[in-house]
Copies of this chain bind each other. A is one copy, B any other.
Amino acid sequence: MRLKSLREEVLDANLELVRRGLVLYTFGNVSGISTEHGLVAIKPSGVPYEKMTASDIVITNLDGNLIEGDLRPSSDLATHLELYKKFPQIGGVAHTHSEFATAWAQARRPIPCFGTTHADYFHGDVPVTACLSEDEIASDYEKNTGIVICRVFEKLRFEDVPGVLVAGHGPFCWGTSAADAAHHAVILEAVARMAYYTVGISANAEPISNALHGKALPPEAWTHGLLRTGNRE
């Protein structure tokens, strides 16, 4: 079995979504990349989380061709691949339909940075993509989802904001590893929930000043796969 430790990390990152209450049934998927081998390990489709093992994790190349595995890769694979190709420093991608982040995606409103919990992880708003056109939906929906995400990051550094809301769909997050990507997905849900409560208390709540934002991971951290540690503990 190739890439054993990557498979195990990807399995554990997928299970982290379950442990943190982010998934219903088989929703959600996390992948990790071995840049050395140019290979991606991703959750299989159709396997319940409680039965999933490291050998169920599917290995593909960056063109999405199956390299190892008996199962189909997650249906969102093509979105993950676009992100790996556009953001070569990232080590993992996590996608969920977690309820509060999805609600902001459905309302097509960026999540304002209302406090330090948000600012320690996401610098400024968590943005929303444009809606896909009918053509983009009809052909290669998953790949085009990746492309509209990347379009948002033409004006934004992916290192500064390791997540995005796909309009009418849900969040994608990334990080220096599969574990880091899943961690960001968990934090994003908490941030989305608190932002929801914040606008419920004060519809005109103001984002915090830029000065309060934590420091972004330096570019070399992404290259070397360093995990960000929590700033507020």
B-chain residues with CB within 8 Å of residue A1 when the two chains form the complex? none
Instruction: Please determine whether B198 and A106 come into contact, CB atoms closer than 8 angstroms.
Output: yes
Name the residue on B nearest A47 (C-beta): B233
B-chain residues with CB within 8 Å of residue A137 when the two chains form the complex? 209, 211-212
Show the binding face of A for B, using Cβ within 8 Å. Answer: 24-29, 43, 45-46, 74-76, 97, 99-100, 102-109, 114-117, 131-132, 134, 137-138, 168-170, 183, 186-187, 190, 193-202, 205-206, 208-209, 211-212, 229-233
24 pairs across A/B with beta carbons < 8 Å?
Answer: A24-B186, A25-B186, A74-B233, A75-B233, A97-B117, A97-B232, A99-B193, A99-B194, A102-B117, A102-B194, A103-B194, A103-B198, A104-B201, A106-B114, A106-B205, A107-B114, A107-B198, A109-B202, A114-B168, A115-B170, A117-B170, A134-B209, A168-B212, A199-B201
Docked pose: A190 CA to B102 CA in angstroms: 11
B-chain residues with CB within 8 Å of residue A197 when the two chains form the complex? 99-100, 103, 196
Distance (Å) between the CB of A180 and the closest chain B CB?
12
Docked pose: A187 CA to B208 CA in angstroms: 26
Identical subunits present: 4
Name the residue on B nearest A29 (C-beta): B233
* Max chain B Cβ within 10 angstroms of own Cβ: one of A100, A190, A233: A233
Instruction: Please determine whether B106 and A194 come into contact, CB atoms closer than 8 angstroms.
Output: yes
Instruction: Please determine whether A230 and B109 come into contact, CB atoms closer than 8 angstroms.
Output: no
B-chain residues with CB within 8 Å of residue A199 when the two chains form the complex? 107, 200-201
Distance (Å) between the CB of A13 and the closest chain B CB?
14
Docked pose: A104 CA to B200 CA in angstroms: 10
Instruction: Please determine whether B233 and A46 come into contact, CB atoms closer than 8 angstroms.
Output: yes
Instruction: Please determine whether A27 and B232 come into contact, CB atoms closer than 8 angstroms.
Output: yes
